[in-house]
Amino acid sequence: MRRVLMLVALAAAALLALAGSSSAAAPADSQALRDAVNVEGVGDHMAALQAIADANDGTRASGTPGFDASLEYVKEKLEATGDLDVAVQPFLFDVFIEGAPGELEQISPDPTSYSDVNTMEYSAAGEVTGQLVAVNDIVIPPGATANTSTAGCEAGDFVPASETETQVAVIQRGTCTFQQKAENAAAAGYDAAVIFNEGQPGREGTLFGTLSADYNQAIPVIGTSFAVGEGLYSQLQAGETVVVRVFTDGETRTDQPTANLIAKTKTGRTDRQVVVGAHLDSVYGGPGINDNGSGSGQNLEIALQMARLGIQPRNQVVFAWWGAEESGLIGSQYYVDQLSKKQIKDIAVNLNFDMVGSPNYVRFVYDGDASDTASTGSTGSGVVEDVFNDYFASQGLETEPTAFDGRSDYDAFVAVGIPAGGTFTGAEGVKTAEQAAVYGGVAGEQYDPCYHEACDTYDSVFNHPPGLPLLQGNGAKGLGEMIDAGAHATVAFAQTTSAVEGTDKGNANGKYKADYLGSYLRR
């Protein structure tokens, strides 16, 4: 399909012009905005979000006072410019709150407590000790490609559970959703379920899965690694009677109020909107200063500095701070769901910034044309990828592709065919020696060692004790590089006269079916 190429300024020879206010000189390219949006300014917003978390039990999760205070902080800053139409978009959501970590223990034979386990999001709470039973269609050794095991996807995969004995189903990850597997286990009469990873490279670790908010079965469900599942399954295949204990402690709270915050420029074509988004909420277990105070702070500073510089975009820019991302991308999905078909077509592009300050960072760019990953990007997303990659290349900086896999708020936009893209500095993935040679940092450690933890603080991002220079740490270096790219891309799409293919074409890669729903796997 023909791609409409964008003309963007990347170096001295660039021709992109910004339309400034009548009292301000029109900058020749994105340099003025990049100079204005800096680590110090973004860092100030991140420090303010840290202070809000500190005053609110260490969290800024949607549905808590910490989130409400975060939204009010951003709102006040935006309204003070006088150049933006600012609105709060309230909505209700269901949230899963875990009271204590999930547990999996082998009682007999050979008593063993397993550490690599997680409660499946939206699991019922409970403690079950019973005989382990394997479902049909488990594939060990695993198939050559991912999503080949159909274990637990059909009712017939389950041996009917005993009516008198407590039993726990063990199920392999594969083609269908975890919700489907858990519901089939409950329907077959099992008292709990253990779902283990499938086993191919990249699908071996502990599962962080979701059963989705509409899961309403009474059985507890644990996710675990391929190694644990393989060990349990091999005992059953050898004829052993295996007894396990499953423990989960969580609750789903329904109809919790929260909100998105939307700020629109007062100038620019409304039929070619540029939606610049970042989620504002943290997880319940921490302040979320990298995830996602970094993206939220970056976008806030871009909006403030565009106003200060008098930049009047050719295409309307819609800045969005999403709520309830950590509960399954709920805020951004709600926003898209409220749009008419015409309003969807009026969105030219979505730029998504979710974690841009990882202390052990890599410069990841979303793989919009799906040339390097199993991506699910919509038509036109390759144009967005090119804008970021070309910018970084002009600065002599290398990048790596990352997949559209449903892990962040681009998901709702991609699903309706809106071109999307953005940057990402890494989460729980582990930095390789090759990456450390390019980006610095420490090989063998997570990109963000504090991802979804209480230690995701201002100090962890900037990688230094309080009182030392702000720019000292590796996280600050990466943040500076990424916010420059974010400012450049915002200007490029705000001022372009070219169209971007997408919304009137639908999704380019067929039926949209991402593996993730936010930070949790759904299958």
Instruction: For residue range 335-363, list pLDDT tens digits in order.
Output: 999 999 999 999 999 999 999 999 999 99
Q: Is 78 found in the same domain as 100?
A: no
Residue 374, token pair as written in the block: 């199993």
CB 217 within 8 A of CB 183: yes
Q: Is the pTM of this model over 0.75?
A: yes
Question: Quick one: how far is CA 330 from the chain centroid?
Answer: 12
Alpha helices by DSSP H, listed for 346-465, are 381-394, 410-415, 433-439, 458-462
Q: What is the pLDDT of residue 11?
A: 33
Q: Is 56 found in the same domain as 198?
A: no
445 a catalytic residue = no
Q: What is the pLDDT of residue 10?
A: 36
Question: Quick one: how far is CA 438 from the chain centroid?
Answer: 24
Among 222, 251, 280, identify where a domain stops.
Answer: 251
Given the residues 103, 301, 325, 326, select the one marked as catalytic: 325
- Of 438, 421, 266, 412, the C-alpha closest to 331 is 412
On whether residue 476 sits in a domain, the answer given is yes
Task: State percent of the chain over pLDDT 90.
Answer: 76
Q: Compute the mean pLDDT over every residue in the chain, rounded to the nearest whole number.
A: 89
Q: Is 369 found in the same domain as 392?
A: yes
Amino acid letter for position 288: G
Q: Is 398 found in the same domain as 273?
A: yes
Task: State percent of the chain over pLDDT 70.
Answer: 88
Q: Given the DSSP bridges, would you call strands 364-366 and 400-402 parallel, antiparallel or unpaired?
A: parallel
Q: What is the pLDDT of residue 373?
A: 85
SS3 for 79-109, per residue? HCCCCEEEEEEEEEEEEEEEEEEEEEEEEEC
Q: Is 229 found in the same domain as 126?
A: yes
Distance CA 503, CA 87 (A): 25
Q: Which CATH number fits the domain that encloses residue 170?
A: 3.50.30.30
Range of the domain at 490: 31-83+266-502
Instruction: For residue range 269-278, list pLDDT tens digits in order.
Output: 999 999 999 9
On whether residue 4 sits in a domain, the answer given is no
Q: What is the pLDDT of residue 498?
A: 82
Distance CA 351, CA 355 (A): 13
Q: In sequence order, what are the residues at sequence separation of 6 or more whose Cβ sits closer than 8 angstroms to the Cβ of residue 453?
A: 285, 286
Residue 440, token pair as written in the block: 């610095």
Residue 62, token pair as written in the block: 């949607």
Distance CA 351, CA 319 (A): 10
On whether residue 519 sits in a domain, the answer given is no
Distance CA 425, CA 441 (A): 12
Among 251, 275, 304, identify where a domain stops.
Answer: 251
Q: Is 416 found in the same domain as 318?
A: yes
Q: What is the pLDDT of residue 497?
A: 87
Distance CA 192, CA 124 (A): 9
Q: Is 283 found in the same domain as 138?
A: no
Q: What is the pLDDT of residue 472?
A: 59
On whether residue 25 sits in a domain, the answer given is no
Instruction: For residue range 407-430, list pLDDT tens digits in order.
Output: 899 999 999 999 999 999 999 899
Range from 6-10, 345-349, 470-474 carrying the lowest mean pLDDT: 6-10
Q: Report which of residues 379 and 281 the model is more confident about.
A: 281
On whether residue 90 sits in a domain, the answer given is no
Q: How confident is the model at residue 9 (pLDDT cuts 50, 70, 90)?
A: very low
CB 456 within 8 A of CB 282: yes
On whether residue 2 sits in a domain, the answer given is no
DSSP string, 434-503: HHHHHH-S-TTSBSSTTTTSTT-SHHHHHTS-TTS-TT-SHHHHHHHHHHHHHHHHHHHHHH--S--S-T
Q: Is 107 found in the same domain as 79?
A: no
Q: What is the pLDDT of residue 49?
A: 98
On whether residue 46 sits in a domain, the answer given is yes
Q: What is the pLDDT of residue 13?
A: 34
Range from 11-15, 147-151, 501-505 carrying the lowest mean pLDDT: 11-15
Q: Which CATH number fits the domain that encloses residue 282?
A: 3.40.630.10
The dihedral formed by the CA atoms of 93, 98, 99 and 102, expressed in degrees to the nearest 10? 160
Q: Is 273 found in the same domain as 370?
A: yes
CA-based torsion, 8, 13, 17, 20: positive or negative: positive
Distance CA 41, CA 103 (A): 43
Q: What mean pLDDT comes out for the span 469-489?
A: 86
Q: What mean pLDDT comes out for the span 458-464?
A: 83
Q: Is 203 found in the same domain as 56?
A: no
Q: Is 452 found in the same domain as 341?
A: yes
Question: Quick one: how far is CA 134 from the chain centroid?
Answer: 33
On whether residue 91 sits in a domain, the answer given is no
Q: How confident is the model at residue 29 (pLDDT cuts 50, 70, 90)?
A: confident
- Of 420, 472, 471, 475, the C-alpha closest to 447 is 475
Q: Is residue 178 over pLDDT 70? A: yes
Distance CA 61, CA 70 (A): 10
Q: How confident is the model at residue 507 (pLDDT cuts 50, 70, 90)?
A: very low
Q: Is 158 found in the same domain as 114?
A: yes
* Domains in the chain, number: 2
Q: How confident is the model at residue 468 (pLDDT cuts 50, 70, 90)?
A: low
Among 225, 251, 277, identify where a domain stops.
Answer: 251
